[in-house]
Amino acid sequence: MRRRVLLHTVLHILVAAWALGPFLWAVLSSFKPSRELFDPRFHLFPETWTLIHYRTVFAGGTFLRNMINSFVVAGGTVILALAMGSLAAFVIARFTFPGRRTLTLGILTLTMFPQIAILSGLFLLLRELHLLNTHAGLVLSYLLFTLPFTVWVLLQYFRHLPRELEEAAWMDGASPWDLFWYVMLPLARPGLITTGLLSGIAAWNEFLFALTFTMDNRVRTVPVAIAFFGGASPYEIPWGSIMAASVVVTLPLILLVALFQRNIVEGLTAGAVRG
């Protein structure tokens, strides 16, 4: 028993260090002055604490604009993905129609499709629609990978909801829309929150499409903005500002996960066991 407890304790410490180590390093580095960041001596904690990197990040208001862009794009992506994905998942899970199995396999295939494979074609399409360098263009492009993921996750959730509730609603004269809106959707709340958070995090962190489809800071999101940070000279990488910006953009995600932690656990475990 002692060996087992010791082994589990050591494993938990190693996993926590592996998962939290990079973020802790970024936090501590964001408070170090530049001379300490390039000091060949190793020291985990700053010898001199400073906020200069955070002031540099928010100087001029450009980075704040980038954060607003990310909120708008990620929020729009989540709203559209949940609105369309929940309805599609409900129909596929609770109704029988020709081609349902093929459609399900097609959705699963889309979740594994590489972004780079459709980048050039999507660029040409957005250009023809005059949606390059717009929030709408980013939202539509993000839906290509968030919508199939949303449908697939909610599909498994709807499949495991009790059939008795559906039958009772039919007997009470409910229409398919009433069944979806008043019965199934409230029961699927944990799944909706979990899927929305995961889709929002994916849209918030997305880099390739945002780099390709945005041209200036008017629409540019935070991952691309951080990549374009410049130092005092063309040959200098501003690691302090990059670390500070990384901490700032990670905090909203941490707060959301902490706020909806219980719903996330319920959404991830729902349907694992059929009673």
Summarize pLDDT for 208-226 with one digit per residue, the tens: 999 999 998 899 999 999 9
What is the rounded average pLDDT for all residues in the chain?
A: 87
Q: What is the pTM of this model?
A: 0.85
Domains, the chain, in order of start with CATH, read 1-50 (no CATH), 52-269 (1.10.3720.10)
Q: pLDDT tens across 127-136, in order?
A: 999 999 999 9
Sign of CA dihedral 175, 176, 180, 181: negative
> Distance between the two ends of the chain, CA-based, in angstroms?
34
Mean pLDDT, range 64-71, rounded to an integer: 94
Give the separation between CA 101 and CA 152, rounded to whole angstroms: 12
CA of 12: how far to CAs of 1, 9, 17, 120, in Å?
A: 16, 5, 8, 44
d(CA 7, CA 171): 56
Question: Percent of the chain scored above 70 by pLDDT?
Answer: 94
Band (272; pLDDT cuts 50, 70, 90): very low
Give the contacts of 54 (CB within 8 A, at least 6 positions apart). Answer: 30, 244, 248
Question: Residue 233 above 80 pLDDT?
Answer: no
Q: Three-class SS string for 48-80?
A: CCCCHHHHHHHHHHHHHHHHHHHHHHHHHHHHH
Q: How many residues does the chain have?
A: 275
**Three-state DSSP class for residue 255:** helix
Percent of the chain with pLDDT over 90: 39
Report the amino acid identity of residue 86. Answer: S
Q: Are 202 and 144 in contact (CB under 8 A)?
A: no
According to the model, what pLDDT value does residue 275 have?
41
Q: Note the pLDDT tens digit of each residue in 77-121.
A: 999 999 999 999 998 988 888 888 888 888 888 878 788 888 999
What band does 204 get if pLDDT is binned at 50, 70 and 90? very high
- CA distances for 201 relative to 74, 150, 204, angstroms: 8, 13, 5
Per-residue pLDDT at 273: 43
SS (H, E, C) 143-195: HHHHHHHHHHHHHHHHHCCCHHHHHHHHHCCCCHHHHHHHHHHHHCHHHHHHH
The pLDDT, as a whole number, for residue 184 is: 86
Average pLDDT over residues 178-192: 86
Q: How far apart are CA 173 and CA 178, in angstroms?
A: 9
Whether residue 191 contacts residue 157, with contact meaning beta carbons closer than 8 Å, is answered with yes
Q: Pick the residue with more confidence: 51 or 174?
A: 51
